[in-house]
C-alpha cells in the first residue's frame, strides 16, 4: 500500500430526495462545499476539478461561485455512470504528477424531478441507437435486461438471485439515515413488484434521485495534516473491452463480459492485491444483474456463480463474507452515477459507515458496467 500517492480526504453530499426544488447547480455547489468542510479545506485550496461528461454545472461555474481562484487542472470523464471512479483516478494522477494539489470530483443530478432522459427519444434515431430503438429497446432497463436474460440461460441465474441484491441494499439503506428508501424489503416483495422489462422488475431498478455528492483528493503527505482519516487511492483503472457499444454491447465476442472484466484485471494488478483481500465492496447497481456480473468480473467468484454468491446473506452486513453497498447503493440510498458509492467506500475506511464492517482496510468501488467503466481500490491509511 506504500505506492499510493493520493488520498480522498473529504466527502460531502446534499439531501437525497425525489425533488430538491432548486437548480442542479445549487446542488453541485452544496455538495462540493460540504466535502471541503469535511476535509477542513477552503475553496482557495482547490486547484483542480474533475467533472462527469453528463454534469450540467461547468468547472468555471463551480470555481466562480465558490471562490476558487484558479484551476490548474480540469478534466472530464466520459460515459455517464462509467466515469465516477475514473474521475477520482484522474484526480489522483494529477496529484501524483504535480499538476494539481487539491482536486474535487463531484456529481449532482436531478433525475428525480428532472424527468427520464429516454422519454425524449423520438422521430428519426441515428448512431448506434438506430439498430435498437426502433424495436423498442429504448430504456437502460431494456438494454441490460437482454444481458440479464442470457446470464440466466447460460448459468442458471434466477430472479431470486437478483432479488437478493435488492434485499441486501435495502437492508443497508434501512440503517442509513440519509438513504431515500429505508423500508426493509423481502424476496417476496421483490417477486411481487411489477415487471418493467422481463426478466427485471421495479425492485431490480435504481432510484430516481435528486442529489449531489463530492469528494476531495489530495496528496498522501498533505492528507496527514487534515481533519479526517484519509482513504488512500491504492489503484484506479478503466476499461472498455473489445467492440464496445454503450449500453447495447451485444456484438463483442462475449457480450456477458462487460468492460468491468478488463478494468478488474488492471485494477488488482496495479494494487498488488487479490479479490480475497477486499473487506467490503461498493458495486455499481443501476440494475441488480450488474452486481451479479461484477462479483464475477472482479474475481469474487467464477463466471456464472455471481447469482448463488448473493444468496444466504453473503453480501449483507454484518455477517456476510463480502458486504456490498453498505449505504444502500443506487438501489436504495440514491442513484447519482455512483459518486455515493465512492463516498461510502471512504466512510468504511474511516470506520464511519452506518453499516460499518469491522476493521475494514480495503474497499473496492466500481462504476457502471454496461458502459466503458472504471474502478477504485481504496485503502485505510
Partner 1 sequence: MSASGAERPLPLPDADTAPYWEAAARGELALQRCDGCDAWRFPPRPGCPRCGSLASRWERASGRGTVWSFVVVHGPVLPAFAERVPFAVVLVELDEDPRLRVVGNLPGVAPARVRIGMRVEACFETVADGVALPQWRSAE
Chain-centre distance for alpha carbon 357: 19
Give the residue among 135, 141, 139 at the shortest CA–CA distance from 162.
141
Residue 243 or 311: the one with the smaller Cβ distance to partner 1 is 243
Is residue 125 part of the contact set for partner 1 (CB under 8 A)? yes
Least Å distance between CB 331 and partner 1?
A: 19
Half-sphere exposure of 151 (CA within 13 A, CB side): 30
Choices 26-34, 138-146, 262-270, 309-317 (CB under 8 A): range interacting with partner 1:
138-146
**Sign, CA torsion 174/296/340/280:** positive
**Which residue is associated with the grid cell 470530483?**
105
Chain-centre distance for alpha carbon 192: 27
In angstroms, the CA 285 to CA 279 distance is 18
Is residue 255 part of the contact set for partner 1 (CB under 8 A)? yes
Q: Which of 1, 146, 187, 270 binds partner 1 (CB under 8 A)?
A: 146
Is residue 117 part of the contact set for partner 1 (CB under 8 A)? no
Give whole-number Cα distances, 135 to 90, 130, 139, 142, 286, in Å.
38, 9, 12, 11, 23
Angle at 179 between CA 144 and CA 310, to 5 degrees: 45
Q: Which of 221, 253, 276, 358 binds partner 1 (CB under 8 A)?
A: 253
Least Å distance between CB 370 and partner 1?
A: 14
Is residue 137 part of the contact set for partner 1 (CB under 8 A)? yes
Is residue 380 part of the contact set for partner 1 (CB under 8 A)? no
Q: Which of 252, 270, 303, 381 binds partner 1 (CB under 8 A)?
A: 252
Residue 145 or 281: the one with the smaller Cβ distance to partner 1 is 145
Active-site amino acid positions: 284, 335
Least Å distance between CB 132 and partner 1?
A: 5
Is residue 191 part of the contact set for partner 1 (CB under 8 A)? no
Kindly write down the DSSP assignment for every residue of 67-103, as one continuous string. Answer: T----SEEEEE-SGGGSHHHHHHHHHHHHHTTS-SEE
Give whole-number Cα distances, 247 to 51, 129, 140, 212, 376, in Å.
21, 10, 7, 24, 21
Q: Which of 196, 257, 303, 381 binds partner 1 (CB under 8 A)?
A: 196
Is residue 303 part of the contact set for partner 1 (CB under 8 A)? no
Is residue 177 part of the contact set for partner 1 (CB under 8 A)? no
Residue 103 or 133: the one with the smaller Cβ distance to partner 1 is 133
Q: Which of 198, 272, 312, 352 binds partner 1 (CB under 8 A)?
A: 198
Residue 127 or 276: the one with the smaller Cβ distance to partner 1 is 127
Residue 187 or 196: the one with the smaller Cβ distance to partner 1 is 196
Least Å distance between CB 141 and partner 1?
A: 9
Is residue 175 part of the contact set for partner 1 (CB under 8 A)? no
- The kind and range of the H/E element at 268 are helix 260-271
Is residue 71 part of the contact set for partner 1 (CB under 8 A)? no
Question: Which cell goes with 138?
Answer: 429504448
Whether the upstream peptide bond of residue 181 has omega within 30° of 0, thus cis, is no
Strand partners, 373: 239
Is residue 121 part of the contact set for partner 1 (CB under 8 A)? yes
Name residues whose C-beta falls within 8 Å of residue 37's C-beta, 6 or more positions apart in sequence.
10, 12
In angstroms, the CA 353 to CA 347 distance is 5
Is residue 123 part of the contact set for partner 1 (CB under 8 A)? yes
Q: Which of 41, 85, 133, 215 binds partner 1 (CB under 8 A)?
A: 133
Residue 127 or 177: the one with the smaller Cβ distance to partner 1 is 127
Is residue 221 part of the contact set for partner 1 (CB under 8 A)? no
Kind of pairing between the strands at 73-77 and 6-13: unpaired
Residue 104 or 197: the one with the smaller Cβ distance to partner 1 is 197
Q: Which of 194, 221, 276, 359 binds partner 1 (CB under 8 A)?
A: 194
Whether the upstream peptide bond of residue 266 has omega within 30° of 0, thus cis, is no
In angstroms, the CA 242 to CA 254 distance is 9
Q: Give me the residues that bind partner 1 (CB under 8 A), please.
A: 116, 118-119, 121-128, 130-139, 142, 145-147, 149-150, 153, 194-199, 242-243, 245, 248, 250-253, 255
Amino acid at each position: 500500500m506504500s505506492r499510493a500517492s493520493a488520498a480522498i480526504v473529504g466527502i460531502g453530499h446534499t439531501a437525497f430526495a425525489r425533488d430538491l426544488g432548486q437548480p442542479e447547480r445549487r446542488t453541485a455547489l452544496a455538495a462540493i462545499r460540504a466535502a471541503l468542510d469535511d476535509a477542513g479545506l477552503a475553496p482557495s485550496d482547490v486547484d483542480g476539478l474533475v467533472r462527469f461528461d453528463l454534469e450540467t454545472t461547468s468547472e468555471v461555474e463551480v470555481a466562480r461561485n465558490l471562490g476558487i481562484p484558479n484551476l490548474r487542472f480540469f478534466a472530464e470523464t466520459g460515459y455517464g455512470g462509467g466515469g465516477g471512479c475514473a474521475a477520482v483516478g484522474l484526480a489522483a494522477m494529477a496529484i501524483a504528477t504535480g499538476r494539481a494539489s487539491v482536486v474535487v470530483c463531484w456529481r449532482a443530478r436531478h433525475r428525480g424531478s428532472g424527468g427520464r432522459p429516454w422519454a425524449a427519444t423520438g422521430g428519426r434515431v441515428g448512431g448506434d441507437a438506430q439498430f435498437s430503438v426502433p424495436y423498442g429497446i429504448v430504456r437502460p432497463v431494456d438494454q441490460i435486461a437482454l444481458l440479464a436474460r442470457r446470464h440466466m440461460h447460460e448459468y442458471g441465474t434466477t430472479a431470486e438471485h437478483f432479488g437478493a441484491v435488492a434485499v441486501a441494499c435495502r437492508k443497508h439503506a434501512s440503517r442509513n439515515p440519509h438513504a431515500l428508501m429505508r423500508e426493509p424489503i423481502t424476496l417476496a416483495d421483490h417477486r411481487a413488484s411489477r415487471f418493467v422489462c422481463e426478466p427485471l422488475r421495479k425492485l431490480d431498478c435504481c432510484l430516481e434521485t435528486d442529489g449531489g455528492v463530492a469528494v476531495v483528493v489530495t496528496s498522501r503527505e498533505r492528507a496527514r495534516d487534515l481533519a479526517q482519516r484519509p482513504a488512500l487511492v491504492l489503484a484506479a483503472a478503466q476499461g472498455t473491452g473489445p467492440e464496445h457499444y454503450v449500453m447495447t454491447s451485444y456484438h463483442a465476442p462475449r457480450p456477458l463480459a462487460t468492460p468491468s472484466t478488463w478494468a478488474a484485471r488492471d485494477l488488482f494488478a496495479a494494487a498488488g492485491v487479490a479479490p480475497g483481500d477486499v473487506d467490503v465492496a461498493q458495486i455499481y447497481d443501476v440494475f441488480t444483474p450488474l452486481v451479479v456480473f461484477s462479483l464475477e468480473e472482479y474475481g469474487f467468484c467464477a463466471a456464472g456463480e455471481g447469482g448463488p454468491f448473493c444468496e444466504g446473506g453473503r453480501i449483507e452486513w454484518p455477517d456476510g463474507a463480502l458486504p456490498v453497498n453498505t449505504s444502500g447503493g443506487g438501489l436504495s440510498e440514491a442513484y447519482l452515477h455512483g459518486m455515493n458509492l465512492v463516498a461510502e467506500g471512504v466512510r468504511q475506511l474511516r470506520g464511519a459507515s452506518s453499516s460499518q464492517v469491522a476493521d475494514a482496510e480495503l474497499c473496492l468501488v466500481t462504476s457502471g458496467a454496461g458502459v466503458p467503466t472504471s474502478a477504485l481500490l481504496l485503502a485505510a491509511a
